[in-house]
A and B are shown apart, each in its own frame.
Chain A
Amino acid sequence: MDVYSPPVSPALYSQLAVVLLAIGVVFSGKFFVYEVSQSKSRRSITQELYLAATASVFLGIGIFFLALTVGIPV
């Protein structure tokens, strides 16, 4: 039996939360700018999904590490 070590070192949780959330906010900003600046007919669904996926990966993991930093039991 080995001592369990978590997949990511707990010392990095707060930095990870800040960095990932910052990147996530930038991508979601780009997504919403794209949504409002292009008219309905000229919007590309692939471009929209690409921005949405990137933003949600960063925001999701960022929020998860934020929860860990503040001590919400996960």
Chain B
Amino acid sequence: MNIHEYQAKALFEKFGVPVPKGVAAKSPAEFASALAQLPDAPVVVKSQIHAGGRGKGTFTDGFKGGVKFAKTKTDALDYANKMFGNTLVTIQTGPAGRKVQTIYFTHASDIKKEYYLAILLDRVTSRPVIVASTEGGVEIEKVAHDTPEKIFKIVIDPAYGIADFQVRELIAKLGLAGSEAKNAAKLIRNLYTCFWETDAAMIEVNPLITTPTGDVLALDAKVSFDSNALYRHPEIVALRDLNEEDPKEIEASKFSLSYIALDGNIACLVNGAGLAMSTMDIIKHYGGTPANFLDVGGGASKDQVIAAFKIILGDPNVKGILVNIFGGIMDCNVIATGIVEAVKEVGLKLPLVVRLEGNNVAAGKATLANSGLALVSGDTMADAAQKIVKLVA
């Protein structure tokens, strides 16, 4: 689960991670009172959406920059009005972009130097890793590619937690000394505590800055949480912003379906994530384009299949559907009956290819064949994929 920058910074403050003073506004009516809470000095106006690359993003009406430096509060108000309700497209949003529904005003800090700091899981060691760089405020992938020697990592032993010597080592590599070093050490320790205690999946601060007065601040904040651990963090669940999620995905999650919308025109409905991914792959292999990823899980009950069809059909690009179920334990005939009922209930008009395999498959195929529906049966994944690609061509 992702949260907004302004929410992440409130969380940082709770854990003693310094951030520039800032106030969020959820409607234009709140802009003036929000700005009044900031000192009379330059302000940074920041669009709040769940995607990176905001600064270099462009709004659909042509306005450039989802993050703006404003010399005066009057300018800040003007920028905020241009951003609010507008749709911001960044390298991470996809071409559809995201509608800006919250503006975050922050005090514009004096920057001495920018750094990069992140905490996440290192899959190789199965331990948390802190990643830092002297090159902040830029694309970190580019730094990692061009100058890997400027990226430093410390892996944390979960049995002990973050050790002082590791923090000292990291700070020395970043070239920090004096009060900067002291402040950075405290910030890194507190940020790690925040990561660990909240079951965060990833925290990224880009940039982390030093100021001319020796302060160290998190100028930006991206935080995502392990969805498996949300049950023990109701305070974090309360930060969820449904505006940032695809309504179809929200609907899918109510039926324990895992759905991700894509750009193609062949919808798929599959049991199991690995099989669902490879069903998309095989559609592509035979010249089609998948409209979605949809995993109905191990069960594939009638209610789930009906819900899945409704969600799929909510996408106007869909021209055909491929159902691929490996009913290992589940009775294929139960699944087939569910598919037939679902098709009748939603009044499906589009081409439908069904590939069923597994337990009691002969009865399942007979149910499909005798349903009177215009569905096509596929024997293997390859056969089914070729058939649906041909039908929508």
The answer to whether A and B come from one shared complex is: no
Binding site for A on B (CB under 8 A): none
Binding site for B on A (CB under 8 A): none
